[in-house]
């Protein structure tokens, strides 16, 4: 958890188990809770919106409002993440289940208000594989957040060009020799610079997968599973 | 903002191919024989081990390694023979150390084939060979690092 736990000296209460990073942050009080909430919202809001839009719940309101309402109702609850850790499931699944309950509560609330949609089959998801869609959207969001983290770390370490080389090589698909003119480096230097940025990106991704509750020795399997789902 | 900087794309713009590719970057691939060689070269006594391995393997038995490989004195036929010998040394090695030595000589011979004759002596895919040579080059001393890196970048006749 190097990237996301920088500066934290707290003892690891639950080493190599899910929830370590989150529970360390929560142990830091309100500041730590803000960090956790920010992480959860930045990585999980997008997949929850995708899930909402793919379900028949979508007539309940705007996806942004529903997801924001869900976070507001759950993330400040004491013990919410303890319950997740005790459940033994991935955080993304825990949040999706919680979101489902929240939406059902919202239906009841709208019924009471007389503003509910008339659909009888409101709770039947419309997509054939909402879980797969959710996982794909989670991977998309998680990779983007890792991208932001790695870019920020490279910039902070004075490695801005390293990060741009990473993008040109891994995203744009340029060979090292094709980067020579653009960055005024030799192919060997380009390889070293890309490798340096790759270390940061790789760690950022793996941190987020572990925070989701994947044990360290299963991270590669999880990444391969996500690759199969997204490709 | 520097000359190359891009704004951070929205999640929706991370298309499946890009996400899959970036997940692949984050994966730790199964360890290859060259990973063990790189680990060995990065140990504190790596330079000593390298000097010893270079002077005691199949290439050294045929002549001066630097002259044969870096200066290009070995012709394609000789390189092919040395490649087979290094491959055998790698496969039949009695211990891990001898195995790594065989691999080092094998990769150096492959690099010489590319550098001086634009010939890929290995049956491994060119992309894999280039990747292996590039990674190896990063932990080698001068002038072997440039020799191997140049081979990684050199097109072979079959490319």
A143 touches chain B (CB under 8 A): yes
Q: What is the residue extent of each domain of chain B? A: 31-153
**A111 Cα to chain B: minimum distance (Å):** 33
Residues of chain A contacting residue B31, judged by C-beta atoms under 8 Å apart: none
Query: pLDDT of chain A along its 231 residues, tens only?
Result: 444 544 333 333 333 445 678 888 888 888 988 999 999 999 999 999 999 998 888 888 999 999 999 999 999 888 898 888 888 889 999 999 999 999 999 988 888 877 665 554 445 455 556 678 899 999 999 999 999 999 999 999 999 999 999 999 998 889 888 999 889 998 888 988 999 999 999 999 999 999 999 998 899 999 999 999 887
Q: Do A187 and A180 contact (CB within 8 A), yes or no?
A: yes
User: Is A1 within the bounds of a domain?
Assistant: no
* Averaged pLDDT for residues B121-138: 90
Exposure letters B81-96 (e unless 16+ CB within 10 A, then b): ebbebbbebbeeeeee
A140 touches chain B (CB under 8 A): yes
Q: What is the token pair recorded at A6? A: 């920088």
Helices (H), chain A: 20-26, 30-53, 63-74, 80-87, 91-113, 130-156, 160-166, 180-183, 187-211, 219-230
Q: What is the token pair recorded at B14? A: 């991370």
Global pTM exceeds 0.90: no
Give, as one character, the DSSP assignment of residue B68: I
Residues of B at the A interface (Cβ-Cβ below 8 Å)? 2, 4-6, 8-12, 14, 16-28, 134-135, 137-138, 145-146, 149, 152-153
Distance of CA A172 to the CA centre of its chain: 23
With tokens 């188990």, the residue in question is A17
The CA R_g of chain B, rounded to the nearest whole Å, is 18
Integer angstrom CA distances of residue B111 from A89, A186, B72, B152: 49, 18, 11, 7
User: Is A2 within the bounds of a domain?
Assistant: no
How far is Cα A99 from Cα A70, in angstroms, rounded to an integer? 6
- Provide DSSP, B107-144: HHHHHHHHHHH-----SS-HHHHHHHHHHHHTTSPTTH
Question: How many domains in chain A?
Answer: 1
- Inter-chain contact A143–B19, Cβ cutoff 8 Å? yes
A176 touches chain B (CB under 8 A): yes
Task: Say what the pLDDT of residue A8 is.
Answer: 38
Q: Among A137, A160, A171, select the one facing B18 at the smallest CB separation.
A: A171
Domain of residue A129: give its range.
20-230
Label residue B4 by pLDDT band (50, 70, 90). low
Residues of chain B contacting residue A139, judged by C-beta atoms under 8 Å apart: 19, 23
Q: Of residues B81 and B155, which shows the higher confidence score? A: B81
Label residue B19 by pLDDT band (50, 70, 90). very high
- pLDDT tens for B22-60 read 999 999 877 889 999 999 999 999 999 999 999 999 999
Q: What is the token pair recorded at A153? A: 């770390």
- pLDDT tens for B58-96 read 999 999 999 999 999 999 999 999 999 999 999 999 999
How far is Cα B106 from Cα B37, in angstroms, rounded to an integer? 12
How far is Cα A175 from Cα A229, in angstroms, rounded to an integer? 27
A172 touches chain B (CB under 8 A): no
pLDDT at B21 over 90: yes
| Three-class SS of A104-165 | HHHHHHHHHHCCCCCCCCCCCCCCCCHHHHHHHHHHHHHHHHHHHHHHHHHHHCCCHHHHHH
How far is Cα B112 from Cα B99, in angstroms, rounded to an integer? 20
- Number of A/B CB contacts below 8 angstroms equals 97
A220 touches chain B (CB under 8 A): yes
Task: Say what the pLDDT of residue A54 is.
Answer: 87
User: Is A11 within the bounds of a domain?
Assistant: no
How far is Cα B4 from Cα A167, in angstroms, rounded to an integer? 10
Integer angstrom CA distances of residue B134 from A68, A194, B57, B92: 48, 12, 22, 26
Q: Do A54 and A126 contact (CB within 8 A), yes or no?
A: yes
Q: Among A144, A195, A226, select the one facing B14 at the smallest CB separation.
A: A144
User: Is A4 within the bounds of a domain?
Assistant: no
Task: Say what the pLDDT of residue A135 is.
Answer: 92
Integer angstrom CA distances of residue B38 from A107, A167, A210, B138: 60, 25, 28, 9
Query: What is the percentage of chain B residues whose pLDDT exceeds 70?
Result: 90
Summary mean pLDDT of chain B: 90
């Amino acid at each position: 958890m190097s990237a996301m736990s920088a500066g934290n000296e707290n003892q690891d209460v639950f080493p190599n188990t899910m929830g370590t990073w989150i529970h360390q942050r929560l142990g830091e009080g309100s500041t730590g809770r803000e960090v956790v909430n920010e992480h959860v919202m930045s990585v999980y809001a997008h997949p929850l919106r995708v899930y909402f839009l793919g379900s028949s719940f979508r007539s309940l309101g705007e996806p942004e409002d529903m997801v924001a309402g869900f976070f507001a109702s759950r993330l400040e609850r004491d013990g919410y993440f303890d319950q997740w850790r005790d459940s033994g499931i991935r955080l993304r699944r825990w949040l999706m289940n919680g979101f489902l309950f929240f939406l059902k509560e919202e239906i009841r609330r709208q019924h009471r208000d007389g503003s509910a949609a008339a659909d009888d089959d409101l709770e039947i998801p419309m997509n054939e594989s909402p879980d797969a869609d959710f996982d794909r959207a989670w991977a998309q969001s998680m990779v983007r957040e890792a991208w932001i983290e790695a870019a920020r770390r490279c910039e902070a370490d004075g490695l801005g060009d390293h990060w741009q080389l990473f993008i040109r090589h891994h995203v744009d698909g340029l060979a090292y020799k094709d980067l020579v003119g653009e960055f005024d480096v030799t192919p060997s230097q380009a390889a070293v610079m890309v490798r340096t940025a790759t270390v940061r990106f790789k760690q950022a991704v793996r941190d987020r997968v572990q925070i989701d509750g994947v044990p360290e020795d299963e991270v590669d399997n999880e990444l391969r599973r996500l690759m199969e789902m997204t490709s | 903002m520097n000359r190359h900087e891009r704004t951070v794309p929205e999640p929706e713009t991370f298309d499946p191919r890009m996400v899959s590719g970036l997940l692949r970057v984050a994966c730790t691939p199964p360890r290859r024989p060259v990973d063990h060689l790189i680990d060995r070269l990065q140990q504190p006594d790596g330079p000593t081990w390298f000097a010893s391995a270079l002077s005691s393997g199949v290439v050294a038995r045929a002549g001066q390694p630097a002259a044969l490989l870096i200066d290009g004195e070995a012709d394609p036929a000789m390189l092919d023979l040395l490649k087979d010998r290094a491959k055998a040394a790698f496969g039949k090695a009695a211990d891990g150390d001898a195995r790594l030595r065989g691999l080092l000589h094998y990769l150096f011979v492959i690099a010489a084939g590319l550098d001086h004759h634009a010939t890929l002596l290995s049956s491994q895919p060119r992309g894999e060979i280039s990747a292996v040579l590039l990674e190896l080059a990063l932990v080698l001393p001068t002038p072997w690092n440039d020799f191997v890196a140049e081979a990684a970048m050199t097109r072979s006749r079959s490319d």
